[in-house]
Copies of this chain bind each other. A is one copy, B any other.
Amino acid sequence: MATKHVYTFGDKQAEGNASMKNLLGGKGANLAEMNLIGVPVPPGFTITTEVCTLYYSKGRDQVVELIKPEVEAAVKNIENIMGTRFGDKENPCLMSVRSGARASMPGMMDTVLNLGLNDRAVEGIAKKTGNERFAWDSYRRFVQMYGDVVLDLKPASKEDIDPFEEIIDQLKEEKGVNLDTELTTDDLKELVKRFKKAVKDNTGRDFPEDPWEQLWGSVMSVFGSWMNKRAILYRKLNNIPDEWGTAVNVQAMVFGNMGQKSGTGVAFTRDAATGEDIFNGEYLINAQGEDVVAGIRTPQQITKEGSIRWAKLANVSEEDRKNNFPSLEEVMPTVYEELDKTQQKLEDHYADMQDLEFTIQDEKLWLLQTRNGKRTGAAMVKIAMDMFKANKIDKQTALMRVEPNKLDELLHPVFDTNALKAAKVVAKGLPASPGAATGQVVFHADEAEEWAADGKHVILVRIETSPEDLSGMNVANGILTARGGMTSHAAVVARGMGKCCVSGAGSVKISYKDRTLTSDGVTFKEGDWISLNGSTGEVYEGKIQTQEPELSGDFGELMEMADSFAKMKVRTNADTPHDSTVAREFGAQGIGLCRTEHMFFGEGKIQAMREMILAKDVDGRKKALGKLLPIQREDFEGIFEAMHDLPVTVRLLDPPLHEFVPHEEKEQQEMADLMGISLKEVQAKIDELAEFNPMLGHRGCRLGNTYPEISEMQARAIIEAAINLKKKGVKTYPEIMIPLTGTLAEMKMQEDIVRSTAEKVFEETGEKIDYMVGTMIEVPRAALTADEIAKSAEFFSFGTNDLTQMTFGYSRDDAGKFLPVYLQKNILKVDPFQALDQEGVGQLVKMAVKKGRKTRKNIKLGICGEHGGEPSSVEFCHRVGLNYVSCSPYRVPIARLAAAQAVVRKKMEKAAKKAAKKAKKANKKKK
């Protein structure tokens, strides 16, 4: 245990630094660091995490006694720097007290602001700010916050009202006003009185007037909050040890609303929208931080250049600008100069674009915060590549600077920012497939096609989509569904097409009969305009202009850089030559999942498929399959050709057969006529196909094993297609994938069908090609018995959509009923259909990798679930040692970047470990 417990900072000096996070917590270490690099931040001090541990072992009194001298010295230091005095009537020093643990635990522990106010100091503040109401409002807020946090005047239960709010409500009723802001300064004074009385009544003691008592109370209360229920649960869920403890940061408060020589603002070291290297930001004189963002006053630009540009856009004359909206550069040139230097220093120090908050109190600049600035995807790429080219960061850092998911923005249309401002959100669903779309509402796929053929822009609106809607989805600008999750049919297909989709918008009521959709009280008829933001899930009323994306050279360079790091290949999920070509352009190195079921829809195909399903016996099925064979073969030829020289994983028929049968009587009658049987017979067969839980029903290889002739036809179509192309000089690498395998015997039976069919075709054609037979791992049992299954399977592809469904027992089509509540109540931290659940589902993946390799050393391993395009999941795949990930075409760039980042991150961890080891060794030697 060290003998130093308090670390001061201020006036560009500090006793701590950024490397002391364990002792000072994240916030404390960073505050020290900013001082060290010469940035003016409000002075203060950090009480170490070790003191927190002492608090729990020795108790409050001993701790106070132990650190009192150090704290008193540190307060003195603040007073000296600020030229104020703690509790002073004229020039009081106010302070904030905040927790700050090693790991960020946002909102879990206590904070006290405006500490140091009492009946005397409030007068000083009133005088200094010239704003009595502000002074008293701050005071009453302080009493309320202190009363709650330190003196524990809380509502008795969740249903009960806060005791302080109760007092406020009562006073408002007495005064006949509705809003807090309608209360006068005298009312606020009255409130302070009544608050204090409530404290006395409840605690039996007066509210502490002594700022020192306030300070000790607050500090100890922060330590105490380390062990509150919320914090304990949070740590349990995040694996943060209780022993770490929290530090406490005490800092002088500064005010930007102390008159015309004060002000506040926010600034970016580069342009957050475009990434251009231009210092920019906004400020207001005599204002508090929240005023800048509140929008009541028009914020002014920091730089003169920015100010002039702004005036042009806002149609403000130079005269007007100079008089009413001058830049900080013009108003306070000295302060501006310091700010400019500071921003440069901060960006250089952190080697990243910074987002700053500053306050000017009496012409003195204080930096309240600096952090890496949020930015658009385009800015992210530009800044990373600019800094790399300027030798400010290395390749690895540049790669790590781009959030893979943000690349989406670069690949899809976005709304025109100005047009969006006036738009009204009428519903919110899931951000199923990114981009922006605007169009006229249609409710049926065939009508979408007709309208689109007439040159209209349409949004296809469905309760849910099915494979029958494919061609309609293809021509629509966007798709909106009322039901279904992130991996519903609509979502998966739309992402594959790179088309904007909002799914599962629960508040949207659709009437196919009336051809209306109603949401939030607004009804849209067929032909009305709506707009969708597939990146946020928002649905807007009316037409909103969109902008097409444009890919910069930086993007291509970044992607190449990524590929030079990545160990995993990135493939794509694609079912058509078009999708395959798109994906190839985005850098896909093969197809990881070619679903064959989509091929059965469309003209001429679905009839033969239905004939097969409705057939009475094997012979009838074989006859219908005979019609499907040339169709499938042709489809495969197209895809194989588009993917020449690259592997293509073809999955045999997976969905239950009832997904292919007609559900409307008209079509059923057509089918009956075609097959020469009665409508009743058709309907009886369709009824027979219905299932209680289709997800767990007669599908996947269960179809191929009960109707081997289906697998046989598909295997033949694949092999024949490959041989036909071989004759044309096109190289193909088909990988035939068995879906939904759960046992070795299931896999073996399918393998036998495929291999014996291939042998037959080889014999018939006199040609041979290389091919592989493998399986999806998507049933938990397949993962558990992967060592067995690998006896037959040459490759595994993790179907983590279904694996997640079955491992959690969540139907993705129904989870909309509880998943949002689970996320909101923090029962789940993320939607497991979006990011792979590494704790649970991940165990099965790991297990299958290990067992699969044990049986078959060189087994090929990949993932083709939706997770294959989600960065944290891609990283997981790298860590468990997969050979490739596969995702929808528009996510290929994201996966490429994520795959590279996974490598870099592992490298960094390794380096960090090595450094830690070295430090430990050096430390030992020292001792």
Q: Which of B778, B791, B814, B828 contacts A696 (CB 8 A)?
A: B814
In the bound complex, residues from chain B placing their C-beta under 8 Å from that of A791 are 236
Instruction: Judge if A446 is at the interface, Cβ distance under 8 Å.
Output: no
CA distance A785 to B698 in the complex (A): 29
Known: A780-B807, A808-B779, A809-B779. A814 touches B742 (CB 8 A): no
Question: Once the chains are docked, how many angstroms separate the CA of A814 from the CA of B827?
Answer: 31
The closest CB in chain B to the CB of A826 belongs to: B745
In chain B, what residue has the closest Cβ to A829? B745
Cβ < 8 Å to B, chain A residues 664-703:
691-698, 700, 702
0/1 string, A821-854, CB within 8 A of B gives 1: 1100111100000000101110110000000000
Q: Does the CB pair B780–A811 fall under 8 Å?
A: no
Check A781/B802 contact, CB under 8 A, given A814-B694, A818-B705, A818-B706.
Answer: no
Are A705 and B821 CB-contacts (below 8 A) given A806-B806, A806-B807, A809-B806? yes
Cα A781 to Cα B827 with chains together (Å): 14
Nearest chain B residue, comparing its CB with the CB of A840: B781
Which of chain B's residues have a CB closer than 8 A to the CB of A233?
748
Q: Nearest B residue to A741 by beta-carbon distance? A: B809
Q: A706-B821, A818-B702 are in contact. Are A808 and B742 (CB under 8 A)?
A: yes
From A694, A700, A818, A828, name the one whose CB has the most chain B CB atoms within 10 angstroms: A818
Which parts of A727-786 form the interface with B (CB within 8 Å)?
A: 740, 742-746, 748-749, 778-781, 784-785
Which of B237, B813, B821 is in CB contact (< 8 Å) with A745? B237
Q: Are A784 and B811 within 8 A (Cβ)?
A: no
With A and B bound together, what is the CA distance between A696 and B485 in angstroms? 14
Q: Residues 697-723 of chain A: 1 if any B CB is under 8 Å from the residue's CB, otherwise 0?
A: 110101001100000000000000000
Q: Contacts A702-B818, A784-B807 known; A828 to B745 CB distance under 8 Å?
A: yes
Would you call B740 and A809 a contact (CB within 8 A)? yes
A817 within 8 A of B: yes
CB of B693 within 8 A of CB of A814, answer yes
Given A813-B692, A827-B745: A698 and B808 interface contact (C-beta under 8 Å): no
A697 (CB) vs chain B CBs: closest residue: B814
A696 to B802, CA, bound (A): 12
Known: A697-B817, A705-B821, A745-B827. A691 touches B811 (CB 8 A): yes
Q: Does A810 contact B (CB under 8 A)?
A: yes
Query: Complex Cα distance A217/B791, Å?
Result: 34
Within 8 A of B (CB), among A200-224: none
For residue A873, CB closer than 8 A to chain B, the reply is no
A827 and B705 within 8 A (CB): yes
Min CB gap A856→B, angstroms: 15
Q: Are A743 and B809 in contact (CB under 8 A)?
A: no
A839 contacts B780, C-beta separation under 8 Å: no
Asked if A784 and B844 sit within 8 Å, CB to CB, the answer is yes
- How many Å lie between the Cα of A700 and that of B742 in the bound state? 25
A807-B781, A827-B705, A844-B784 known; A814 vs B692 contact (CB < 8 Å)? yes
- For residue A465, CB closer than 8 A to chain B, the reply is no
Contact of A813 among B693, B743, B810, B841 (CB under 8 A): B693
Q: Is A596 an interface residue (CB 8 A)?
A: no
Q: How many angstroms between the C-alpha atoms of A822 and B810 in the bound complex?
A: 26
Cβ of A702: which chain B residues have Cβ within 8 Å of it?
818, 822
Asked whether A697 lies within 8 Å of B811 as measured between CB atoms, the reply is yes
Contact A814 to B784, CB < 8 A, known contacts A742-B840, A779-B807, A826-B745: no
Measured between beta carbons, the chain B residues less than 8 angstroms from A237 are 744-745
Chain B's nearest CB lies how many Å from the CB of A691? Answer: 4
In the assembled complex, which residues on chain B have CB atoms less than 8 Å from the CB atom of A844?
A: 780, 784
A503 in contact (CB, < 8 A): no
Cα–Cα, bound, A620→B746 (Å) = 50
Across the interface, A784 reaches (CB within 8 A) one of B697, B781, B840, namely: B840
Q: A805 an interface residue at 8 Å Cβ cutoff?
A: yes
- Closest chain B residue to A816, Cβ basis: B698
Question: Which residues in B have their C-beta under 8 angstroms from that of A780?
Answer: 780, 806-807, 809, 840, 844
Whether B785 lies near A839 (C-beta < 8 A) is: yes
Cβ contact within 8 Å between B692 and A843: no
Q: In the assembled complex, how far is the CB of residue A722 from the closest CB belonging to chain B, in whole angstroms?
A: 25
The A352-373 residues at the B interface (CB cut-off 8 A) are none
Q: Which of B693, B748, B817, B841 contacts A781 (CB 8 A)?
A: B841
Distance from A808 Cβ to chain B, minimum over Cβ atoms (Å): 5
CA distance A809 to B809 in the complex (A): 10
Contacts of A705 in B (CB 8 A): 818, 821-822, 825, 827
What 0/1 pattern do residues 794 to 814 of A give for CB contact below 8 A with B?
000000001001111111011
Residues of B within 8 A of A696 (CB): 693, 695-696, 805-806, 809-811, 814
Tell me which of B785, B811, B814 contacts A840 (CB under 8 A).
B785
Q: How far is the CA of A110 from the CA of B444 in the complex (A)?
A: 63
Q: For the complex formed, measure the closest distance between the CB of A589 and the CB atoms of chain B, giving whole angstroms.
A: 30
Nearest B residue to A483 via CB reads B692
Complex alpha-carbon distance, A818 and B697, angstroms: 8
Q: Which residue of B lies closest to A839 (CB)?
A: B785
Q: Are B784 and A742 in contact (CB under 8 A)?
A: no
Chain B residue, CB-CB nearest to A688? B817
**Is there an interface contact between A808 and B827, defined as CB atoms closer than 8 Å?**
no
User: Which residues from chain B contact A810 at a C-beta distance below 8 Å?
Assistant: 696
Report B-chain residues with C-beta under 8 Å of the C-beta of A695.
Answer: 692-693, 696, 809, 811
Cα–Cα, bound, A841→B700 (Å): 20
Residues of chain B lying within 8 A (CB to CB) of residue A822:
702, 705, 746
Question: Could you tell me if A742 and B809 are in contact, using CB atoms closer than 8 angstroms?
Answer: yes
Contacting residues of chain A (74-102) with chain B, CB-CB under 8 angstroms: none
What are the residues of chain B within 8 A of A837 when measuring CB–CB?
A: 781
Tell me, rounded to whole Å, the shortest Cβ–Cβ distance linking A848 to chain B: 12
Q: Which residue of B lies closest to A708 (CB)?
A: B825
27 A-B residue pairs with Cβ-Cβ distance under 8 Å, sorted by A, are: A236-B744, A691-B813, A692-B694, A692-B811, A692-B813, A692-B814, A693-B694, A693-B695, A693-B813, A695-B696, A695-B811, A696-B805, A696-B809, A696-B814, A697-B814, A697-B815, A705-B827, A743-B827, A745-B827, A746-B827, A779-B807, A779-B809, A780-B780, A781-B807, A781-B841, A802-B809, A806-B806
The 5 A-B residue pairs whose C-beta atoms are closest, nearest first, are A696-B811, A693-B811, A697-B814, A781-B840, A692-B813
Beyond A236-B744, A697-B811, A780-B844, list 14 extra A-B contacts (CB 8 Å).
Answer: A692-B811, A692-B814, A693-B693, A695-B696, A697-B817, A705-B821, A705-B825, A705-B827, A706-B821, A740-B809, A742-B808, A742-B809, A779-B807, A784-B840
Chain A residues proximal to chain B, CB less than 8 Å? 233, 236-237, 691-698, 700, 702, 705-706, 740, 742-746, 748-749, 778-781, 784-785, 788, 791, 802, 805-811, 813-815, 817-818, 821-822, 825-828, 837, 839-841, 843-844
